Structure 1
Amino acid sequence: MAKKEKIEFPKIDWRTFSPNPVIGVDEVGRGCLAGPVYAAAVIFKSEALSDMVTDSKLISEKRRDEMAELILQEHHVGIGFATVEEIDELNILNASLLAMKRAVEKLGVKSGHVLVDGNKKIPDLRGFEQTTVVKGDLRVAPISAASIVAKVTRDRLMKDLGAQYPHYGFEIHKGYSTPVHKQSIVTHGPCIAHRRSFAGVKEYVR
């Protein structure tokens, strides 16, 4: 059996992109059964933290919380989201792109170069150049910073939803499709925070 080759994703120097400002954008929550999808857009105002950030999934929750606070203090950040209703209406891909567009718009800048995590450009984002970067949250520091802020912001919301809807354990799994979460939907039916167009939820809408 042939040995599977490990694909390397080299770091990308975001400083080489123009025009300025260079904006890193990422979203979180696409694969969840519940809760909104969140996005953040980050413009680095200095070199602070640029060699410390990485994909939010590779950092402990405590470290993510610390890093998010530092990013918000040191850099220019916009946060956007798309609601559960918008996800069900538009589909999760289009809702994710909408959340990213809203995050960029929250920055209040009219032009620049947006580096988007993934392989899809943000529709209807006028005035900006765009470059997509596969595994951008590992390779491009402003995208890494955006992934951290987006995840921390969304996780906090899911903890709040966990207090509102205690049957589902949102504070633990953050809406992802874990066995415990799926069983809670079977037992209790979906709540208002669930994405009713998703398999694993729509079958149990009463």
Structure 2
Amino acid sequence: MILAANRGGGPLPYDALMIADALRHVHPARRAASPLVEGWLLELPLLGRLLVQSGAAAATVPNLRRLLTREQAVIVLPEGRQGFGRRFRGRYRLGRFTDAFARVAIEAGAPIVPVAVIGAEEAQPVLARFDAAGRLLGLPTLPLTPTLVPLPTKWTLHFGEPLHVAASYEATDAGRSEMVGRLRHQVRERLQGLVLEGLRRRRSVFLG
């Protein structure tokens, strides 16, 4: 199973980690899930070790295939690098999704569950981006946030209905760009709708 979530613009993937924690401790399924995160995070001295201990892996196609083969739940952030450093004025507006997760889902016949994360964009709002400085550090950009630690916003997770990929796609469709694009679009539209619904239901950034 693939859980596809929106990403906050801040530098760290709190969204994916929050989903993993909720699945293990709060969701009725009580299921472990592996977040796929930017590879550079795993190379950081302390944080990288903590991420690995939490079950995180680098966001690569081989890792996604490997985890699905083991019948593990995997958390992906389909916007990829586009979601990293998204400015606050563009909050909760999803960018273009990558093809990789959709292609692997078709190959494996893995269901995709959209998960809307509400609260992350306000926890570390990105006020500005420094692309040149980010490239020097090997990052897509260097986001400027008002605080080093996240603000105490109220987070809510909204799990949507699963897309049963195996019922609509053959494994061979993974080699057809139009079919991969179709699934990618379906997931994005479902997730964007779920995000907007979550925002509509929210009464307060800090109280939920």
Computing the radius of gyration over CA atoms, which structure comes out larger, 1 or 2? 1
Normalized against structure 1, the TM-score is what? 0.27
Larger relative contact order (CA 8 Å, sep ≥ 6): 1
Normalized against structure 2, the TM-score is what? 0.27
